[in-house]
Structure 1
Amino acid sequence: MAVVHSRFAPLDLPEKDIFSFIFERNRPICTENHTIFQDADTDKAYSYADVRRLAQGFGQGLKAKFQWRNGEVLSLFAANSIDIPAVMLGALWAGGIFSPINPGYTVGELVNQLNDSRPRAIVTQLQLLETVKESLNIAKMSKTIIILLGDERDPTGRVPHFTSVRNISGSTRYQPAKVDPKNDTALLVYSSGTTGKPKGVKLSHYNVTSNISQLQPGDQEYLTWNGSKTCGDIPLPKSGCGDRVLVCAPLFHIYGLTKSIINPLYTGTTAIVMVRFEIEKWCALVQKHSITFSYLVPPIVLLLCKHPVVSSYDLSSIRMANSGAAPLSQGMIESCLKRTGIRVKQSYGMTETCPTVFNQTWDDWNNPIGSAGQLLPNVEAKICPPSISEIPTASDDLEPEGLPQGEVGELYVRGPNVFLGYHNNPIATADCLSPTGWYRTGDVGYIDARRTLFITDRVKELIKYNGFQVAPAELEGYLLDHPLVNNCAVVGIQSEALSTEVPMAYIILKSGAKAANKEQAESIIQWLNSRVAGHKKLRGGIKFVSEIPKSASGKILRRVLKEWAKAEGSKGSAMGAEVVRARL
């Protein structure tokens, strides 16, 4: 099985800019006054018509006040807000590139991204204004490029709100920009940077609209503004209601941008937008709004399985949930279903694929449980021998032959949703994207006879024990089934005694468990070691911690954990409780 093709028929993908793709359609997807975005805290809402009007007005304002030109960057440095869709679409209407930034960044981190993208304007919130001003000063950029969004205005009146950036002259000369959908960048989204400085991923209009279209068959087609469609035994929304999506993913991430902004506008569903995720608030909002769908990440699914507050709320309105960012174990999916009744399907992708390439359909969400689903229409994939180098380099073969069906290896994909390349970084682009469009994902897994993908780990995260490769995610899946373990992360540490890498686990105990002690650690180690092959045993031991460092998208920051382990090795137990080693 060299190259795998989708079981779905190829789609005739439109070559349109994102604004036209959403708003200029043969027939309306919903009524003009239908609510698309609603603030979870204030209940302030924007209708389909509101978003289009605000976006066009802002786009015209950018041309009138900033003399906006095609290809100029508009950065966003803000927490989740229902103003973001209009700001993003307004920038695209004007021919701009929309580039979101993590609002949790420090001044130094923000400066790095500003220096790389060099935005023509930056949109932020009042509470982040001083951080932006300081960063612009260091980057030697004018503070006159700042624009605000949200309910708070600048008390000095010097920084305009996005609703006041408009064409006050009434001139009709400001028309939507003409763009080349396949070759012009629409989104400049920076990767998480877990393997170094973040890289700007260039996504074209065609990349984005293709992925939205690819997700319709068997998935997004069941999310409707009037609650009119379902499949199998999955219930329709309650009578008189359409689908309502609870947005808890950060909108600066590709997962949030496409799933929580563009998808609702394209399908007509109502998105209830949280500023940030909190488990009890999430549950309360599901109950209050009769939420039918939500995009999740594994840490949230884990909370649904284990947090005591979940039992206090009625979550039965949820028809389906989708988890991305990292693989879920079969045990966790089954536990979530048993406790909450929530079906959790999975999808697989990354920023470079806009983001989805494999997806479980609604009628196949539990067949088999734990898979990342099937290949989207118009996408090709192959499993190849893992590269010798853990970080892609130009010397690697980017077009290797595929392995036979069922064998584990590194995933390569090619399709209309694969990115254009990295901004200002042709070397990094050449390291992972072949001349014929094959993208080396860096993820390890296999594809079965049903053309279903199972991800087992990342190439760079594999632990190499005496020549054997050990997948941290597999060991984490086992540990999460232990009755005392609330959360965990496994990394490889260098053993001087064995002259090889060995697996080590960082563990958060469940509330109510006895205080962490050596006997507990040894018990967990022996419990795990009895369930795995010899080369997978926790020879690096266990350390109990109060938190596991994770990125905004929910991925474990193994680099940080390895730094902790290195510091502990050189300074004893400076990081806290001692590491308990395995008795083998």
Structure 2
Amino acid sequence: MALASLYPDVEIPDLSVPAYVLAAGAERPDAPALVDGLTGDTITHSQLAAYVDRVAAALHARGLRKGDVVAVFCPNTPWYPVVFHGIAAAGCVMSPINSLYTSEEIAFQLRDSGAKVLITVSPFLDRAMAAVQTAPVDEVVVMDGAEGHASLLDLLSSDAPSPRVDIDPATDLVTLPYSSGTTGLPKGVMLTHRNLVANVLQMRPIMNAHEGDERIIAVLPFFHIYGLTVLMNQGLVAGTVVTLPRFDLEDFLRVIQDQRITRAFVAPPIVLALAKHPLVDQYDLSSLRTITSGAAPLDEGLALAAEQRLRKGAPEGVTVAQGYGMTELSPVSHSTPDAGMEPPGLTGPVPKGSVGVSVPNTECRLVDPATGEDVGPGQRGELWVRGPQVMKGYLNNPQATAETLDGEGWLRTGDVAVVDERGIYTVVDRVKELIKYKGYQVAPAELEAVLLGHPEIADAAVIGVKDADSGEELPKAFVVRAAGSALTPEAVMEYMAGKVAPHKKVRLVEFIEQVPKSSAGKILRKDLKAAN
């Protein structure tokens, strides 16, 4: 049984992402579009449009054409949106790379995506150049400059004519982020212009946005689809985006205070800091109206603790809410409405532990994984989603696409949810094997492959185990030593730390005699979880 959104559908214009996002800024050309939270450097909306045009022209002059992939390996800066929209305006596809990735992980994404150009920054150049040794690209552009490489200034100085590209928003890709999906190794998620435009528009009815006056702090990374769509593109439509290159609590609090931030999109660890860290009391956070948490489940008690603490200094009060989504959904499918923006007919408060209601134009089903039958209100079932924000599929991976998308456009999220009689959803479990650590997806299969590269490891399995203190899910490795090995847990963790990004590091190690497997050779993770 398909459950429609409580909101009426919104109309989605037939526009590219740059055309839609930059049009909103055209109404306020001299207003700040982007602000560097550390330096105060500002890009106005009119400047943003001009810079985007020059980047697009420069890429086109280099021979890049519609559908070509340009990878971006960069932390949050005001120039990230310039690069993203410049790539998109040229008809190319931007593939964002996690700033924490090792050279091996970067090389995998470059190779798999078929990237022709890599745009990065000088502090990341060592990893970038190591990656292109094994996954060559036509050019490496270093935004802040480096000897032997073109800079962003070189692109912005181009006198090439503006490219004219015929973009079909419904079918042409605009971005190719990598996700592990519901299981397995990272896969390129094909998102179209229409996917992203739709998702920004789907968020508008649930937000009590003061059009043009919103000031959004962008500390979550733009390389994550949450940051790219919700903070960056939605933020540019709503007002001003203030960037931070990484999360530092003192910088975060100072920017909220000094820049009079009105809305923050965060992950649960930041909510924890706002609820408990003594530093919070030293700053004036009264401009904040709404905090929305995503990327990982937010505990009800933690949300209430943060809300109550922050309300002390805010005359209008602060709401701590939660949303839900995934890369394959561009990413938003559910969220808690702002006060006064509830859908027609919804009465009473939205519980803090829930992910709210489905956004406009979105249908949901809850399906019993064992029987394949739909379940009703109050019953647990895998959440399936259908709507204009659903991905086109996985790049060059029809099998993974077929396992996630059915023939009718339903996307199997891999998450188990419950919906109540009012249409409010709560995510209660996961069908999928992914580990969620600090908002990042960690694929057990990927870590197992790295572990098996160690000469003293005969076999290995990885699961997520909950840490009682932090509530985080920690990657734990079960390792079978090779004959004669005296390998220690510390040595295993040190080996992994040198091979994977920090959020993928193995945090716990247990040595076992044999990895439990099915007759088909599949690791029986449920048996390992049952013993933990």
Q: Give the Cα–Cα distance (whole angstroms) in 2 for the partners of residues 560 and 460 of structure 1.
A: 19
% of aligned pairs identical?
32
Aligned to 1:4: 3
CA offset digits 1:138-169 (Å, max 9, x no partner) = 12x14x511122xx321x3x211123125745
Matches within 5 A, 1:45-194: 45-64=42-61, 66-139=62-135, 141-142=136-137, 145-149=139-143, 152-154=144-146, 156=147, 158-165=148-155, 168-171=158-161, 174-191=162-179
CA offset digits 1:556-578 (Å, max 9, x no partner) = 97x945xx2534899xxxxxxxx
Q: Give the Cα–Cα distance (whole angstroms) in 2 for the partners of residues 556 and 326 of structure 1.
A: 14
Once the two structures are overlaid, the 10-residue window that deviates more, 442-451 or 365-374, is 365-374
Distance 1:568 1:332, change over 3 A: farther
Secondary structure at the residue paired with 1:417?
A: coil
Asked if 1:430 is matched to 2:418, the reply is no
Aligned to 1:290: 260
Distance 1:569 1:413, change over 3 A: same
List gaps (5 residues or longer) in structure 1.
Answer: 226-241, 389-399, 463-471, 477-490, 492-501, 511-548, 571-584
List gaps (5 residues or longer) in structure 2.
Answer: 312-317, 343-347, 438-443, 445-462, 472-495, 515-532
Q: Give the Cα–Cα distance (whole angstroms) in 2 for the partners of residues 100 and 277 of structure 1.
A: 19
Matches within 5 A, 1:508-527: 508=469
AA in 1 matched with 2:55: F
Q: Give the Cα–Cα distance (whole angstroms) in 1 for the partners of residues 236 and 465 of structure 2.
A: 45
Offset of 1:78 from its aligned partner?
A: 0.9
AA in 2 matched with 1:353: L
Once the two structures are overlaid, the 10-residue window that deviates more, 408-417 or 274-283, is 274-283
Offset of 1:38 from its aligned partner?
A: 0.6
Secondary structure at the residue paired with 1:454?
A: strand
Offset of 1:95 from its aligned partner?
A: 0.6
Aligned to 1:271: 241
Preserved CA contact (<8 Å) 2:35 2:41:
yes
Distance 1:440 1:292, change over 3 A: same
Q: Give the Cα–Cα distance (whole angstroms) in 1 for the partners of residues 358 and 2 of structure 2.
A: 12
Alignment equivalent of 1:411, drawn from 372, 383, 387: 383
Secondary structure at the residue paired with 1:338?
A: helix
Preserved CA contact (<8 Å) 1:13 1:210:
yes
Matches within 5 A, 1:101-500: 101-139=97-135, 141-142=136-137, 145-149=139-143, 152-154=144-146, 156=147, 158-165=148-155, 168-171=158-161, 174-191=162-179, 195-219=183-207, 221-225=208-212, 242-267=213-238, 269-341=239-311, 342-363=318-339, 366-387=349-370, 400-460=372-432
- Runs of 4+ residues deviating >6 angstroms: none
Offset of 1:197 from its aligned partner?
A: 2.0
Q: Give the Cα–Cα distance (whole angstroms) in 2 for the partners of residues 53 and 509 of structure 1.
A: 45
Q: Give the Cα–Cα distance (whole angstroms) in 2 for the partners of residues 135 and 410 of structure 1.
A: 38
Asked if 1:566 is matched to 2:527, the reply is no
CA offset digits 1:151-189 (Å, max 9, x no partner) = x321x3x21112312574554xx4331111111111100
Q: Give the Cα–Cα distance (whole angstroms) in 1 for the partners of residues 418 and 197 of structure 2.
A: 28
Offset of 1:328 from its aligned partner?
A: 1.4
Preserved CA contact (<8 Å) 1:58 1:163:
no
Q: Give the Cα–Cα distance (whole angstroms) in 2 for the partners of residues 378 and 20 of structure 1.
A: 21
Preserved CA contact (<8 Å) 2:181 2:328:
no
Preserved CA contact (<8 Å) 2:182 2:432:
no
Offset of 1:362 from its aligned partner?
A: 0.4
Distance 1:270 1:312, change over 3 A: same
Preserved CA contact (<8 Å) 2:173 2:191:
yes
Offset of 1:194 from its aligned partner?
A: 8.8
Aligned to 2:467: 506
What is the aligned-residue RMSD (CA, Å)?
Answer: 3.1
Aligned to 1:39: 36
Offset of 1:406 from its aligned partner?
A: 1.4
AA in 2 matched with 1:222: A
Q: Give the Cα–Cα distance (whole angstroms) in 1 for the partners of residues 112 and 26 of structure 2.
A: 38
- Paired residues in the alignment total 454
Distance 1:43 1:436, change over 3 A: same
